[in-house]
């Protein structure tokens, strides 16, 4: 199962060109949803206007080389390692979901566009990525959801913002179940979970406009802008941080934060 390309001889015998067309359609859904989100929320416009404002408030000029260094460091530290999360477990779940999804999507594209390949690497990457996404997603949903603790809401409370993580986990789960039952020659169950796998993909990529999917594209830009603002002294019009815990004692650290 782990080293078999489930798309090569799928349970419904769907030809490779149809699978390729479906994948391209999902990419179009993603691009369209992100563009609609940008037009509606005006995030990009806000970033550009904020950057212009910060430039006027800057107290020093930052050399191009330094800017490049900040961008690279931000991508390598804040983005690649999810350093924005202070809690270790929250960071682990995010990394599992992020890298698991990246592996899953890359392997899916390679296997769909190269169904004749006998390589076992990408099938293995596909299954490992799906498992990582499930572990991170279920861990987050049932244990770490912020609003459960901070706002007293139950784990079963679902809003549109949850569409991304739920459909993402559902896609990985149904994909694994489809692959398992297909490898076991359980045609009925394999067909069921393949159909659910397709539907969950449509919900995931077709629901970009209503979910937090587009949010993943904004976060790197926001992190870069934050570090550039700190370097040029504009600091987004915020004051310098005060080291008050050291001044007034470390009693604040006796109680660890529980919200995140």
pTM for this structure? 0.80
Contact 1, 183 (CB under 8 A): yes
d(CA 75, CA 65): 16
- 3-class secondary structure, 182: helix
Token reading at 249: 């004692």
Q: Where are the domains of the chain?
A: 16-40+86-237
Closest CA relative to residue 237, chosen from 51, 39, 75: 51
Contacts of 126 (CB under 8 A, 6+ apart): 5, 6, 103, 104, 107, 108, 111, 175
Measured over all CA atoms, what is the biggest interatomic distance in the chain, rounded to whole angstroms?
Answer: 69
Instruction: Mark out the alpha helices in the chain (DSSP H runs).
Output: 16-41, 43-57, 64-74, 88-113, 121-139, 146-150, 163-183, 187-206, 215-232, 244-248
Length of the chain in terms of residues written: 260
pLDDT tens string, the chain, 260 residues long: the values are 888 899 988 888 899 999 999 999 999 999 988 888 777 777 667 777 776 776 767 777 778 888 888 888 888 887 888 777 767 888 899 899 999 999 999 999 999 999 888 789 999 999 999 999 999 999 888 887 766 666 667 667 777 778 888 999 999 999 999 999 999 999 999 999 999 999 999 999 998 888 777 777 777 777 777 777 777 777 666 666 665 555 555 555 666 655 54
pLDDT of amino acid 248: 55
């Amino acid at each position: 199962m782990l080293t078999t390309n489930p798309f090569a001889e799928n349970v419904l015998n769907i030809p490779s060109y149809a699978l390729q067309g479906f994948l391209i359609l999902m990419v179009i859904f993603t691009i369209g949803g992100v563009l609609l989100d940008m037009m509606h929320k005006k995030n990009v416009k806000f970033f550009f206007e904020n950057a212009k404002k910060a430039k006027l408030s800057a107290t020093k000029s930052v050399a191009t080389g330094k800017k490049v260094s900040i961008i690279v460091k931000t991508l390598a530290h804040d983005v690649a390692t999810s350093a924005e999360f202070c809690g270790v477990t929250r960071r682990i779940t995010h990394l599992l979901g992020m890298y698991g999804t990246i592996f899953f999507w890359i392997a899916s594209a390679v296997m769909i566009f190269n169904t004749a390949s006998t390589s076992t690497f990408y099938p293995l990457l596909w299954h490992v990525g799906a498992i990582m996404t499930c572990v991170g997603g279920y861990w987050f949903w049932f244990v770490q959801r912020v609003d459960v603790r901070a706002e007293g809401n139950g784990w079963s409370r679902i809003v549109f913002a949850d569409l991304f993580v739920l459909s993402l986990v559902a896609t990985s789960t149904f994909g694994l179940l489809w692959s398992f039952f297909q490898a076991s020659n359980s045609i009925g169950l394999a067909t069921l979970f393949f159909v659910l796998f397709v539907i969950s993909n449509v919900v995931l990529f077709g629901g970009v406009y209503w979910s937090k999917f587009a949010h993943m594209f904004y976060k790197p830009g926001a992190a870069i802008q934050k570090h550039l603002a700190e370097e040029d002294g504009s600091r987004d019009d915020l004051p310098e941080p005060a080291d008050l815990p050291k001044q007034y004692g470390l009693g604040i650290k006796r109680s660890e934060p529980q919200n995140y």
